[in-house]
Amino acid sequence: MKRKIFQVDAFTSKPYCGNPAGVVIDAVGLTDEQMMLIAKEMKLSETAFVFPGSTGYDFEVRFFTPTEEVDLCGHATIATFSLLKELGIINKEEVIQKTKAGLLNIKFLGNGMVIMQQAPPLIIAREIMLDELCKIMGIRNTDVGISELMLLPEIWSTGLKDILLPVKSIDVLKGMSPSMDELIDYSRKMDVSGAHVFTIGEENTIWCRNFAPLCGIPEESATGTSNGALGACLYNKGWHEALSFTSHQGYWLGSPSQIFVQVQNGSNPEVWVGGKAVTVLDGEIVIPE
């Protein structure tokens, strides 16, 4: 038995940039074990499996890393819905996807961008102690903090829990070299997916790196959910009243990515994350017995 499978580079308009995701557009009948084996074979940070919709939603999507199933994946969502639109499976401008993080809205913008609603923002913990985390990340305590904005790391979630770690400069960000084994243990202890490290450069440009070895991803070139959490955090701190920005990620991995983040004003602010995507592989995969 075979199924159609695609590889789509998300958060980029150029092939072989951004963050690649596998997409199986018809996952009906596949077992959890089969989906896990396919994700291992693809050796991508996530592979998405698409199921038909039902009452209240248009599609169900499940996400697998090479080591586990996760509730939500931003770049694989952008890859999936860009592909479904490209194939003509979707012919409207808004759909709803069911994920293990809940029902989330997807919008298609006229410039080819796909944006996805994130789960409602949650702050899990403020002001994490620095000594252990800095040792793991290979930086000094004095490298941490962005003046008048955020001085200490915090844990936020818009679908997946991440440590948001502000650092003082692009040089600190570029030069860090975490201990992956220690970060796995620390992530497990803190009950997070990993560490999303960021700084603010010239003209308020966001630069970031994401490390999630606990999920089988030593470093990821584009992470939608982590940047969604970052958007919620920066909005909460009053960085801008009407917040939208583009995160630059993956540049030191040779896979430059641009992740658009928007936080819509209101008593319960909505976080949206999006970008463009390019299909680079179209084929069939053998389904393991």
CATH number of domain containing 86? 3.10.310.10
Q: Of all helices (H) and strands (E), which one includes residue 79?
A: helix 74-86
Are 126 and 262 members of one domain? yes
* Per-residue confidence (pLDDT) for residue 242, from 0 to 100: 60
**Same-domain check for residues 139 and 259:** yes
Give the pLDDT of the chain (289 residues) as one tens digit per residue.
Answer: 899 999 999 999 999 999 999 999 999 999 999 999 999 999 998 999 999 999 999 999 999 999 899 998 889 999 999 999 999 999 999 999 999 989 999 999 978 899 999 988 999 988 788 999 999 999 999 999 999 999 999 999 998 899 999 999 999 999 999 999 999 999 999 999 999 999 999 888 999 999 999 988 899 999 988 999 999 999 999 886 568 899 999 999 999 999 999 998 767 789 999 999 999 999 999 998 7
Residues 161 and 225 in one domain: yes
Residue 216 backbone zone (phi > 0: left; psi -120 to 50: alpha; other: beta): left
Rounded to whole angstroms, how far apart are CA atoms 114 and 224? 12
- Measured CA to CA, the distance from residue 37 to residue 17 in angstroms comes to 25
My answer on whether 136 and 239 are in the same domain is yes
Asked if residue 127 and residue 105 are part of one domain, the reply reads no
Burial class (CB in 10 A: 0-12, 13-18, 19+), 221: buried
Please tell me whether residue 64 adopts helix, strand or coil conformation: strand
Question: Within a 13 Å sphere around the CA of 270, how many CA atoms are in the beta-carbon half?
Answer: 9
Instruction: Judge whether 289 counts as a catalytic residue.
Output: no
Task: Indicate whether 161 and 211 sit together in one domain.
Answer: yes
Number of domains observed in the structure of the chain: 2
Residue 143 to residue 169: CA distance in whole angstroms = 8
- Domain range enclosing 151: 122-269
Note the Cα 236 to chain centre separation in Å: 20
Q: Are residues 9 and 82 in the same domain?
A: yes
Asked if residues 117 and 272 have their Cβ atoms less than 8 Å apart, the reply is: yes
User: Which residue in 41, 46, 93, 94 is the catalytic one?
Assistant: 46
pLDDT (tens digit per residue) in 213-263: 998 889 999 998 899 999 999 999 988 656 889 999 999 999 999 999 999
Please indicate, yes or no, whether residues 97 and 196 belong to a single structural domain of this protein: no
Instruction: Note whether 93 and 15 are same-domain residues.
Output: yes
Residues 170 and 57 in one domain: no
* Same domain, residue pair 127 and 215: yes
86 and 41: one domain?
yes
